[in-house]
């Protein structure tokens, strides 16, 4: 990312720095349990960091419409806890060894404890959200959780299979973009947004979430392990066909298709290397095509903000799609 983008990133997150610090503290407090193992896992996950993009979106959406209350910090912690719980479960399902440059929790505490810790985090998030005394908030979080669980189950069913572009985009929505959409809409709900404004905020979240995940999938294929903090080409090793791979499969020769299919079915690079797959993807400009798709979603996100009032928070939201698609990890 260039110097200008980095500078802008700092300026954007400075707008919500105090609230983000408060969310971090609440995340820590809410992750504490009388059962020591849960507290240890929760703190390990919190210390692992992350972009905290989801709670930042919730804060920016609320402040865009001049919200002044404390609910945005509380719900910001809720969405980050939900996101963290999904990561715990994802690592178990994917048999992941690394997360953000550190051993994944399941390699330290084992699968049974981590499954239950993830469940506890989900329930804790809902308990905290009850403090808002807002049925609309609970409806959004309940539907979100259902979508994410359905997305995970659908992905498991399709592992090792050659899926269509539309099926893949549906998975991206359920597993990633749905949470972005709900974060934006929750900010709108807190600020008393009209139904039309809520829909625009939700669509912004969906679009930026789609751009985020497509970019993530491209980086999984092209970035280095040092930058990613986990092994490269993890998706292929897990039997997942992402957008660039699907693009190539629709265009490549029978032999090339067989090579890709071998990796997906065996979930390993046996006789076919990561570089072999990259060569196929580059031959059909599939990496570029996926990046272009992410850019289209980023532009779609920007378009949703046209009717909102001009202020620093709108400018931050207009810039964030660029950040999402131009990041290096």
Domains and CATH numbers, the chain: 3-223+296-326 (1.10.600.10)
Residue 3, pLDDT above cutoff 60: no
Where is pLDDT greater, at 323 or 65? 65
Summarised one tens digit per residue, pLDDT across range 108-124 is 999 999 999 999 999 99
* Beta-carbon contacts of residue 156 (< 8 Å; ≥ 6 apart): 93
The pTM of the full predicted model, rounded to 2 decimals, is: 0.93
Half-sphere exposure of 273 (CA within 13 A, CB side): 3
The β-bridge partners of 103 are: 98
pLDDT confidence of residue 227:
77
Q: Kindly list the distances between the CA atom of residue 6 and the CA atoms of 3, 12, 61, 175, 213, in Å, as whole numbers in the listed order.
A: 5, 10, 22, 28, 20
**Is 75:126 a contact under the CB 8 Å cutoff?**
no
Residue 43: Cβ-neighbour burial (10 angstroms; 0-12, 13-18, 19+) = middle
Residue 85: is its pLDDT beyond 80?
A: yes
- C-alpha closest to that of 26 among 84, 79, 77: 77
Q: What percent of the chain has pLDDT over 90?
A: 85
Cα dihedral: 104, 106, 107, 113 (round 10): 140
């Amino acid at each position: 990312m260039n110097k200008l983008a980095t500078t802008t990133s700092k300026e954007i997150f400075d707008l919500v720095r105090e609230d983000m610090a408060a969310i971090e503290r609440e995340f820590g407090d809410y992750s504490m349990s009388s059962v020591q193992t849960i507290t240890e896992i929760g703190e390990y996950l919190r210390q692992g960091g992350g972009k905290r993009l989801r709670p930042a979106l919730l804060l920016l959406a609320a402040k865009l419409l001049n919200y002044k209350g404390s609910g945005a910090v509380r719900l910001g912690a809720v969405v980050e806890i939900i996101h963290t719980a999904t990561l715990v479960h994802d690592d178990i399902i994917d048999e992941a060894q690394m997360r953000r440059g550190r051993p994944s929790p399941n390699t330290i505490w084992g699968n049974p404890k981590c499954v239950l810790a993830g469940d506890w985090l989900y329930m804790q998030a809902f308990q905290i959200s009850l403090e808002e005394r807002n049925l609309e908030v609970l409806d959004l979080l309940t539907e979100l959780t259902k979508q994410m669980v359905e997305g995970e189950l659908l992905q498991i069913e399709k592992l090792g299979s050659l899926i269509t572009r539309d099926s893949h985009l549906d998975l991206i929505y359920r597993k990633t973009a749905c949470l972005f959409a709900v974060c934006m809409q929750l900010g709108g709900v807190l600020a008393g947004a009209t139904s039309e404004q809520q829909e625009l905020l939700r669509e912004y979240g969906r679009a930026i979430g789609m751009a985020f995940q497509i970019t993530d999938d491209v980086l999984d294929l092209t970035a280095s392990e040092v930058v990613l903090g986990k092994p490269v080409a993890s998706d292929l090793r897990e039997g997942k066909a992402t957008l660039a791979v699907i693009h190539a499969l629709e265009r490549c020769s029978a032999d090339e298709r067989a090579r890709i299919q071998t990796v997906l079915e065996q979930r390993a690079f046996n006789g076919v290397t990561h570089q072999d797959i990259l060569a196929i993807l580059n031959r059909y400009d599939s990496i570029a095509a996926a990046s272009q798709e992410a850019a289209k979603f980023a532009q779609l996100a920007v378009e949703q903000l046209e009717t909102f009032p001009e202020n620093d928070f709108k400018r931050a939201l207009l810039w964030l799609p660029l950040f999402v698609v131009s990041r290096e990890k």
